[in-house]
Amino acid sequence: MPAFNLPTLGTDQLITEQDIIGQISLINIWATWCPGCLEEHEFLVQLSNSPQAIPIVGINWKDETELAQLWLKESGNPYSEVLVDSIGKTAIDFGVYGAPETFLIDEEGVIKYKHIGPLSTQIWNREILPVINKMQQ
């Protein structure tokens, strides 16, 4: 995972990649202007409340703070942290082509899987959960 130092949504608190290391987690690049992000959002909320939940770190990409806060208030917040990448440098460092993109990170901060496009139950069960199960063995 690339190094980063990003503020949390609506605050000056900074989070780095070191704050994520230590547990399996997802990093989800999203924005309110992104149709695919809207498509996957309900699944992310369900996932965050499921027994198989792992932390989901949201990186709000090139978006407006007020719109992002309103989106999460109205649609639910699946994220353990919401970071702000207002200029897009961190997304570029991750190799993001467009939102949404989701990265599965292991306990050491290594990207084990990258998914381009909206997540769904089918994608989770078929592609991501098997990788998590291998990581936990």
CATH at 94: 3.40.30.10
Q: What is the tens place of the pLDDT at every residue in 25-34? A: 999 999 999 9
Task: Please provide residue 80's backbone torsions phi and psi, each rounded to the nearest 5 degrees.
Answer: -75, -30
**Residue 33 contacts residue 109 (beta carbons within 8 Å):** no
For residue 4, which amino acid is it? Answer: F
How far is the C-alpha of 123 from the C-alpha of 129, rounded, in Å? 9
Q: What is the tens place of the pLDDT at every residue in 74-84? A: 999 999 999 99
* Helix axis angle, 65-75 to 35-48, nearest 10°: 50
Query: Which H or E run includes 6?
Result: strand 5-7
The confidence band for 136, taking pLDDT boundaries of 50, 70 and 90, is: confident
Overall number of domains in the chain: 1
User: Is 13 inside any structural domain?
Assistant: no
In the 8-state DSSP scheme, what is residue 131?
Answer: H
What is the extent of the structural domain holding 65? 24-135
**pTM of the full predicted structure?**
0.96
User: Is 4 inside any structural domain?
Assistant: no
> What separation in angstroms does the CA of 93 have from each of 3, 52, 55, 101?
8, 29, 21, 13
User: Is 72 inside any structural domain?
Assistant: yes
